[in-house]
A and B are shown apart, each in its own frame.
With several copies, the nearest count.
Chain A
Amino acid sequence: MKHQLTLTPGAIDEPALIAARQMSAGMGAAVYFSGVVRGSEEDQTISAIEYTAFAQMVERQFHLIFDQIEKRWPIESLRIVHRLGVVKVNEPSLWLEVVAPHRGEAFAAGQFLIDEMKRTVPIWKKPLP
């Protein structure tokens, strides 16, 4: 399974990421998720979220998740981009692509990746007023 992990302070350019998709002839499904900063956090209006990370451990923990995904589903490739630093409301902080033969495994692996990330990957957020 190919995988690409990017932690970046820059904006996530979704159209460019989509345009760079690589998919072999056996693949029939690509699932994408964009996680976007909402305008409120626990009923408080916010302007942005600041993301901080323990970067080396982020890499390690994502790779442990990739290993689990590879064992469970026939995924051809995974790309994930997570922003660090200040991300304004309405901008994506997380972008994810899963390429697989069929939609079932692509949806399952994508949701598993996000669920596990939220449990184990050391990234934290701080809402900014």
Chain B
Amino acid sequence: MTIRVQFWSYFKDLTGCADLTEELPEGSTVHDLLKRLHAHHPKLAAMQNSTLIAVGVDYQGRSHVLRDGDEVSLFPPVQGG
């Protein structure tokens, strides 16, 4: 299945990338996606304790099961106001 990934704020600088596409086996979770991304982007791996994850426009945890076509967003802590 195909998952689109977007990076926000300084995560774009850490990865040198605004968005990318990953192909993952059916039944993969957010955790599986992160493992794949961390392998290519070690600076992102270093931020994993302060990484927020959304699927579509809702926050999701590492165990959330992805579906074909999902858009996953990764970003640092928010700072509005």
Which residue numbers of A lie inside 8 Å of B, CB to CB?
A: 35, 51-54, 56-57, 59-61, 82, 93-94, 103, 114, 117-126
Select B78's contact among A35, A59, A123, A126, beta carbons within 8 Å: A123
Contact status of A125 and B79, CB under 8 A, knowing A52-B9, A54-B73: yes
Return the contact of A123 from the options B57, B58, B59, B79 (Cβ within 8 A).
Answer: B79
With an 8 Å Cβ cutoff, the count of chain B residues facing the other chain is 16
Q: For the complex, what is the distance from the CA of A32 to the CA of B65, rounded to whole Å? A: 41
Given the interface contacts A124-B9, A124-B75, does A60 sit within 8 Å of B80 by beta carbon? no
A65 to B70 alpha-carbon distance, docked (Å): 24
B69 → chain A closest CB, angstroms: 16
Contact with A along B66-81 (1 / 0, CB 8 A): 0000000101101111
